[in-house]
Amino acid sequence: MAGIPIAFAAETDPVPSNIDHFWIAIGIGGDEPIRIALSTHSRQNAAAGFDPRVRVGVVRSTWRELPATGLLACRGFDYREVEAAEMVSYIMYERSELETPLAEKAGRAIFIEAWGESYVRNHRGIHQVHSRRASCSVLQDYTGRDGAIRFYFADARAELFLFKYNGQP
């Protein structure tokens, strides 16, 4: 999915332990924006007694041409391919700490590209925008189905954000 950022917000809830997403709405043409749901905390790891923080790796690059706008099928996305081509260092973030750079990047981006799984609720969106490898609390190991988000900036720079949970390789 790729398009122009429209809005962004951290999830809110009267119960702080329920907050685990940061949302970015992008326009891809048509009537309705698409929501990107980024996980900022693992409630499953927390419930199982593991570290709920999210590790984030950032790959910086430059661009000359923006990708096509729209919701497109993808052959797959695999962190192992990115990590084989680039040196990626992951930093552990508490939920509230991660919301700050996501808001800064979403607010500055002129275009956003994201990989994940589509869903429809009371809106259309994509989720699973993170590594899909087995973690401490999720035993399913999906390869080649990772999700990520890339922010494109007006100065021809881009930043690809990779998200991992505790226990993921």
Measuring CA to CA, how many Å separate 76 from each of 41, 97, 134, 138, 140?
24, 29, 17, 20, 17
The tokens describing 111, both together, are 């275009």
State the pLDDT confidence band at 30, using cuts at 50, 70 and 90.
confident
State the pLDDT confidence band at 97, using cuts at 50, 70 and 90.
very high
Q: Could you give the percent of the chain with pLDDT greater than 70? A: 100
pTM above threshold 0.85: yes
Mean pLDDT for 52-66 is 98
> What DSSP character marks residue 143?
S
> What DSSP character marks residue 107?
H
Burial class (CB in 10 A: 0-12, 13-18, 19+), 78: middle
Q: Could you give the percent of the chain with pLDDT greater than 90? A: 92
Domain ranges of the chain: 2-165
